[in-house]
């Protein structure tokens, strides 16, 4: 009879230890998942950096934030199809359209969305991207 009651305690100890291990793994995994969501150890969301000294990068970035809603990811609208721009316009033309916006030729195109530097960068980007 000696020793038999100890099995009960041993079983409780094993179950307890197993639970502790399992729970701490779950905790670690949850921390990883949360860090992944937050985008890094410091809790800072990952940020896309744009090289604003490169006109093509600045143009693309500005197009995506300011123009894509009307002219689309493929430059085919919903409004104002920009495909093949280089066949219709020079860079100067495009800069003027961007800066001056709507007129008799371009009703619906808003003026003054971006400054002159960004307009030039977008024009350069569009001439390449809409070929």
The residues that touch ligand HEC, with contacts defined as CB under 6 A, are 66-67, 69-71, 79-80, 82, 85, 88-89, 94, 97-98, 106, 108-110, 113-114, 122
Is residue 31 within 8 A of residue 97, CB to CB? The reply is no
For residue 109, say whether it is annotated as part of any ligand binding site: yes
Question: How near is the Cβ of 108 to ligand HEC at its closest, in Å?
Answer: 3
Question: How near is the Cβ of 114 to ligand HEC at its closest, in Å?
Answer: 5
For residue 79, say whether it is annotated as part of any ligand binding site: no
DSSP for 61-107, please give it.
HHIIIIIHHHH-TTS--SSS--TTHHHH--HHHHHHHHHH--SSSST
For residue 56, say whether it is annotated as part of any ligand binding site: no
Q: Binding site residues for heme c, as ranges?
A: 67, 70-71, 109
């Amino acid at each position: 009879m000696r020793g038999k009651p100890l099995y009960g305690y041993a079983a409780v100890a094993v179950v307890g230890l197993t639970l502790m291990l399992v729970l701490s793994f779950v905790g670690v995994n949850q921390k990883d998942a949360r860090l992944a969501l937050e985008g890094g150890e410091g809790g800072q969301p990952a940020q896309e950096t744009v090289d604003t000294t490169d006109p093509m990068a600045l143009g693309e970035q500005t197009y995506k934030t300011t123009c894509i809603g009307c002219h689309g990811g493929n430059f085919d609208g919903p409004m104002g199809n920009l495909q093949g721009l280089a066949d219709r316009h020079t860079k100067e033309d495009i800069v003027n359209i961007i800066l001056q916006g709507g007129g008799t030729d371009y009703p619906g195109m808003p003026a003054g969305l971006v400054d002159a530097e960004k307009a030039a960068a977008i024009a350069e980007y569009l001439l390449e991207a809409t070929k």
